Amino acid sequence: MDRLLPQRLVKGDLIQVITPASPVDLERLSRGVGLLRQLGFRVRLGRVLKSLYGNPMISAPDEERKKEIEEAFADREVKCIMASRGGYGTLRLLGDLDYTLIRDNPKLIVGYSDLTALLNSIHKMTGLVTFHGPMVATDFGSEQPSKYTLEWFQKATMSGRPIGEVEQPSGYLRRVVEGVGRGPIVGGNLSLITRMLGTPYQPEFEDKIVLLEEVDEDPYKVDGMLTHLLLNGSIKKAAGIVFSVCKNCPPPERAGKPINAITVEEVVRERLERIGVPSVYGFNAGHNPDIPTIPIGVIGELDASNLIFSVTETCTS
């Protein structure tokens, strides 16, 4: 599949907000939309936000959420599609999306968490570079949006140049397996990646830099998901693994359980050592306060020995 680069954003462009997973908090959404407008963009809300479906699990019926995505891609005025939030339900849409329409109308699409399924399936089925980055309500709608998150969103979507070394705000990054790896970037939320295994939409790991992140899971569940990847086998052929800090792993209410006496970092280290490719733990991505925007589908380089992760290829046209 030939790779497609979306056109970079410029001030005045129209961003369409989609809600392909769970229902969104409207107050947070309003703040996030306001911030995007302050940055100089026009913003339009998709059909799902107007439907008031009332289901606590998914924002609207599958067909409505599918149409919202396809309409955003088909509309030539829209230059960027951003998720309002994650949650659950995007996986249900993958088998019915019109990937030909998406390929014929390439544009920026940004999100993380449950959007992992959409980002990776679109890239695999169309070649379009997608973006693992902030969501309108979840991140830009917080009472104090992260300056780091804002800066990296603009750097990835507006500069038209390779974003280079992804400098980390926390300084917590730790090497697990030394070495250097180089290849196209894939990945996202670990739960979604494991659910996609065995489907036509699963990302290919061979010779890839695999980005992984997780939230609100017990360490033994993280162990189970990484073991699932190990048993699948292809992760052992990856060029490198960048594993993010796992926020609330375990969730606070379960932290005292005997099964959670082992830390998630210990679990991740042991599994990554077993996988055996260059890898680091403690990256900031996904469910963390300060997150970079990482393109899915362009070349990245991981120097695990020196704790440097770089995006070395242009991700927009």
CATH number at residue 82: 3.40.50.10740
Q: Final residue of a domain: which of 79, 114, 145?
A: 145
Report the domain count for the chain.
2
Residues 135 and 226 in one domain: no
Q: 214-273: per-residue pLDDT in tens?
A: 999 999 999 999 999 999 999 999 999 999 999 999 999 998 899 999 999 999 999 999
Q: What pTM was computed for the model? A: 0.97
Residues 113 and 228 in one domain: no
Minimal CA–CA distance to 53: which of 66, 67, 64?
64
Is residue 3 one of the residues assigned to a domain?
A: no
Quote the pLDDT of residue 100. 99
Is residue 2 one of the residues assigned to a domain?
A: no
Residues 74 and 20 in one domain: yes
Residues labelled as active-site residues: 113, 213, 287
Q: Final residue of a domain: which of 92, 117, 145?
A: 145
Q: 3-16: per-residue pLDDT in tens?
A: 999 999 999 999 99
Residue 53, pLDDT above cutoff 90? no
Q: How confident is the model at residue 171 (pLDDT cuts 50, 70, 90)?
A: confident
Residues 55 and 111 in one domain: yes
Is residue 6 one of the residues assigned to a domain?
A: no
Domain residue limits at 294: 164-311
Residues 47 and 119 in one domain: yes
Least reliable range by pLDDT among 53-67, 105-119, 291-305: 53-67
Is residue 119 one of the residues assigned to a domain?
A: yes
Residues 291 and 201 in one domain: yes
Q: How confident is the model at residue 40 (pLDDT cuts 50, 70, 90)?
A: very high
When pLDDT is averaged across residues 133-151 and rounded to a whole number, the result is: 97
Quote the pLDDT of residue 172. 87
Q: Phi and psi of 212, rounded to 5°?
A: -130, 145
Residues 125 and 263 in one domain: no
Q: Phi and psi of 253, rounded to 5°?
A: -70, -10
Neighbours of 107 (CB within 10 A): 20
Is residue 39 one of the residues assigned to a domain?
A: yes
Is residue 122 one of the residues assigned to a domain?
A: yes
Is residue 229 one of the residues assigned to a domain?
A: yes
Residues 104 and 192 in one domain: no
Residue 1 or residue 178, greater confidence: 178
Minimal CA–CA distance to 112: which of 79, 135, 89, 81?
135
Quote the pLDDT of residue 56. 85
Residue 79, pLDDT above cutoff 90? yes
Strands 240-244 and 294-296 come out as unpaired
Is residue 123 one of the residues assigned to a domain?
A: yes
Residues 203 and 255 in one domain: yes
Amino acid at site 223:
D
Quote the pLDDT of residue 96. 98
Residues 56 and 126 in one domain: yes
Q: Final residue of a domain: which of 115, 145, 175?
A: 145
Residues of the chain with pLDDT > 90: what percent?
A: 93
Q: What is the CATH number of the domain that holds 197?
A: 3.50.30.60
Task: Name the average pLDDT for the chain.
Answer: 96
Residues 171 and 284 in one domain: yes
Residues 51 and 87 in one domain: yes
- Per DSSP, 88 falls in state S
DSSP H or E run through 229: helix 219-232
